[in-house]
């Protein structure tokens, strides 16, 4: 089930991956005591040596996304639950001051928890409106099936639910067979777009059939009837499983959704669709509005994040798995504004990054103002090498040797598994990555944050 292959499958079991020797690693070389800080170094002004962990309530807590307020404070969203009991899994939003301490003016002690009827609820993405209100998107599942709903929640700047939005601050969007939202974006007119997965002909125990799904809302949370059919759009590729993990809004109002598509001939590929502002597929993009990219015949390739360059080119990042499943690396592709691979990037438009671990996946891609590309993710090994992983590429796709060691950074919070699910760039260029870290204690798994210097 593809939805498990993304942010919904992060069920960390702290007792796994235990090693006898504690290992705390970063993949840059620590120089002499007075060595000058370098790009990729942890920011010593943030938390403890550049790192922060947060327990919500002696629970399993996993951060999935981060956004930066205009004042530099950090909004981090994720899920929380206890004892592997997903029937009480909720959205949780935290706010941190610029030094990494929790902001006690937000919610209760810097934390806000939002419950939904039914079972699991998992937030995937967060944006901040110009007025300071916070929009979070994800999914909630009323029963032990995958027939979930898009959930979009808006909070006031102090963490309270914005009662002027939807039903008491929450908008639930139901697709016929179930859905889940992976990303959210804000248009210049204040309308909100959520993108993700819709299930088609869902039959428990059978191979899933999913399509790209988008929903657009007016600023008050009502469906935007000018978009698609009643505010909803779904798009099928040629195979069974098509999932949108990222959504971008171009300056001209066109919308790009990026994810993966299961092609019967080449298995899973990076996939993208561009829509006109009314939700109609833009046939001037790619082939009849769509583009797919295979990193290797028969491999499993998925784009999990995308970013729009100022010149209209699109950068997508995720993972590529070799045909025999023996290798899984960070994977990056760049497309021209017309939807074809950009051959000025790594000569053929695609590249892979190997940190030397199993199961490596990028979950976020960021663009610096100088055109350099940052990918953030982790190695999902459930072992001590399951760490925060960052890589920086030059604009033409080569690793940036001025960042970390040979363009790569590895950060461990301890000797159990952890990883980065999301990231954002501060206005000063510093990189904030968020995710999770398992513990030996009854706190199970904590939110984990790290901040890095960019130069």
Q: What is the pLDDT of residues 215-266, one digit of tens each?
A: 999 999 999 999 999 999 999 998 789 999 999 999 999 999 999 999 888 8
Over range 301-314, report the average pLDDT. 98
Task: Specify the 3-state DSSP secondary structure of 79.
Answer: strand
Residue 141 has, within 13 A of its CA and on its CB side, a CA count of 19
Confidence bin at 117 (pLDDT 50/70/90): confident
CA-to-CA distance for 338 and 296, rounded, in angstroms?
A: 23
CA-to-CA distance for 216 and 159, rounded, in angstroms?
A: 23
Confidence bin at 349 (pLDDT 50/70/90): very high
Over range 205-211, report the average pLDDT. 77
CA-to-CA distance for 227 and 239, rounded, in angstroms?
A: 25
Over range 136-158, report the average pLDDT. 88
First to last CA, the chain: 41
Q: How distant, in Å, are the alpha carbons of 114, 132, 184 from that of 154?
A: 11, 11, 12
Supply the pLDDT for residue 115: 92
CA-to-CA distance for 140 and 125, rounded, in angstroms?
A: 14
Instruction: Answer whether 104's CB lies under 8 Å from 143's CB.
Output: no
Instruction: Give the Cα-Cα-Cα angle 430, 69, 10 (nearest 5 degrees).
Output: 75
Supply the pLDDT for residue 177: 77
% of the chain beyond a pLDDT of 70 = 90
Q: Tokens representing 50?
A: 């550049």
pLDDT above 70: residue 268: yes
Over range 96-107, report the average pLDDT. 98
Q: Tokens representing 90?
A: 């909720």
pTM of the full structure: 0.91
Q: Which residues of 242-256 are buried (b: 16+ CB within 10 A; e: fewer)?
A: bbbbbbbbeeeebbb
Supply the pLDDT for residue 322: 87
Task: State the Rg of the chain over Cα.
Answer: 20
In 3D space, the residue among 374, 352, 445 whose CA is nearest the CA of residue 79 turns out to be 445
Supply the pLDDT for residue 239: 78
Over range 86-93, report the average pLDDT. 89
pLDDT above 60: residue 191: yes
% of the chain beyond a pLDDT of 90 = 78
Supply the pLDDT for residue 205: 63
Supply the pLDDT for residue 326: 83
pLDDT above 60: residue 436: yes
Supply the pLDDT for residue 94: 98
Task: Specify the 3-state DSSP secondary structure of 8.
Answer: helix
Q: Where are the domains of the chain?
A: 35-452
pLDDT above 70: residue 178: yes
Domain over 35-452 is classified CATH 2.130.10.10: yes
Supply the pLDDT for residue 14: 33
Over range 175-186, report the average pLDDT. 92
Over range 177-185, report the average pLDDT. 93
Supply the pLDDT for residue 146: 61
Q: 5-9, 31-35, 377-381, 405-409: lowest mean pLDDT where?
A: 5-9
Confidence bin at 203 (pLDDT 50/70/90): low
Supply the pLDDT for residue 323: 72
Over range 294-321, report the average pLDDT. 94
Confidence bin at 128 (pLDDT 50/70/90): very high
Question: In DSSP terms, which residues pair with 121 in a beta bridge?
Answer: 140
Question: In the chain, how long is the greatest CA-to-CA distance?
Answer: 62
CA-to-CA distance for 450 and 62, rounded, in angstroms?
A: 14
Supply the pLDDT for residue 145: 60
Average pLDDT, the chain: 90
Q: Tokens representing 75?
A: 């909004």
């Amino acid at each position: 089930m593809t939805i498990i292959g993304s942010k919904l499958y992060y069920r960390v079991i702290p007792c796994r991956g235990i090693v006898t020797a504690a290992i705390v690693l970063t993949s840059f070389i620590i120089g002499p005591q007075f060595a000058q800080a370098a790009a990729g170094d942890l920011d010593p002004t943030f938390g403890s040596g550049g790192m922060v962990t947060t327990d919500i309530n002696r629970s399993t807590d996993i951060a999935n996304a981060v956004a930066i307020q205009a004042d530099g404070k950090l909004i981090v969203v994720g899920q929380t639950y206890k004892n592997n009991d997903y029937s009480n899994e909720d959205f949780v939003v935290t706010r941190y001051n610029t030094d990494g301490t929790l902001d006690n003016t937000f919610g209760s002690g810097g934390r806000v928890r939002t419950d939904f009827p039914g079972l699991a609820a998992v937030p995937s993405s967060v944006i901040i409106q110009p007025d300071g209100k916070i929009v979070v998107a994800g999914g909630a599942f009323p029963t032990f099936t995958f027939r979930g709903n898009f959930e979009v929640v808006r909070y006031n700047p102090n963490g309270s639910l914005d009662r002027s939005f939807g039903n008491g601050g929450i908008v639930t969007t139901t697709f016929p067979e179930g859905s889940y939202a992976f990303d959210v974006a804000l248009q210049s007119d204040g309308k909100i777009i959520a993108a993700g997965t819709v299930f088609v002909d869902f039959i428990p125990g059978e191979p899933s059939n999913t399509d790209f799904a988008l929903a657009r809302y007016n600023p008050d949370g009502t469906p935007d009837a000018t978009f698609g059919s009643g505010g909803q759009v779904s798009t099928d590729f040629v195979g069974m499983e098509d999932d949108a993990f990222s959504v971008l809004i171009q300056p001209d109002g066109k919308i790009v959704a990026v994810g993966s598509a299961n092609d019967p001939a080449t298995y899973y590929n990076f996939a993208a669709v561009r829509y006109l502002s009314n939700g109609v597929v833009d046939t001037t993009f790619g082939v009849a509005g769509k583009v797919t990219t295979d990193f290797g015949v028969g491999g499993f390739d998925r784009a999990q994040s995308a970013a729009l360059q100022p010149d209209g080119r699109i950068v997508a990042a995720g993972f590529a798995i070799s045909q025999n499943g023996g290798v899984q690396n960070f994977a990056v592709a760049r497309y021209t504004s017309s939807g074809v691979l950009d051959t000025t990037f790594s000569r053929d438009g695609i590249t892979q990054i190997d940190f030397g671990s199993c199961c490596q996946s990028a979950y976020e891609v960021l663009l610096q103002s100088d055109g350099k590309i940052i990918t953030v993710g982790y190695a999902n090994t459930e072992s001590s090498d399951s760490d925060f992983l960052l890589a920086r590429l030059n604009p033409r796709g080569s690793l940036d040797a001025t960042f970390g060691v040979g363009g790569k950074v590895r950060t461990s919070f301890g000797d159990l598994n952890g990883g980065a699910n999301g990231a954002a760039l501060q206005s000063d260029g510093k990189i904030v990555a968020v995710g999770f870290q398992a513990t030996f204690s009854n706190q199970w798994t904590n939110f984990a944050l790290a901040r890095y210097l960019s130069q």
